Amino acid sequence: MEKVKPIILRDKENDLEYTLEFNRESVKFAESRGFNIDDLDNFPMSKTEELFYYAFRMHHKRLSKEKTDSIFYDSLGGHGNLPDGFIKRLVRLYILPFDTLSDGNSEENSENFKPKMAVEM
């Protein structure tokens, strides 16, 4: 499984740190609200904002959309001021949990995972 480092945001004014990353639960949360990663190309303004919000879910569940929008637009400067590769990294982080569906490993301790069932096809 490919390892993708999470994105860390550091708030210099308030000495806060935010970790942007996805796991199965945060992806399911996004999907249950109608988010589709394939819509990012067709609706870049709204879908990038949504992806950014959902990226907080894994480590910062209680952060509101209003707060993440404020971070995105007021603290980071929105689409035009993001570092090169920022959106691509968010997409890679979003897609990473899908690997657990196909490689037979759980996200936690995948190298130590011992299956309890065999699959014959």
The confidence band for 30, taking pLDDT boundaries of 50, 70 and 90, is very high
Selected residue with higher pLDDT from 106 and 30:
30
To the nearest 5 percent, what fractions of the chain are helix, strand and coil?
A: 50, 10, 45
pTM equals 0.82
> How far apart, in whole angstroms, are the C-alpha atoms of residue 62 and residue 2?
28
Q: What is the pLDDT of residue 63?
A: 97
Whether the predicted pLDDT of 7 surpasses 90: yes
Taking only the tens place, the pLDDT of each residue in 34-70 is 999 999 999 998 999 999 999 999 999 999 999 999 9
Q: What is the mean pLDDT of the chain?
A: 89
CA distance 37 to 27: 10
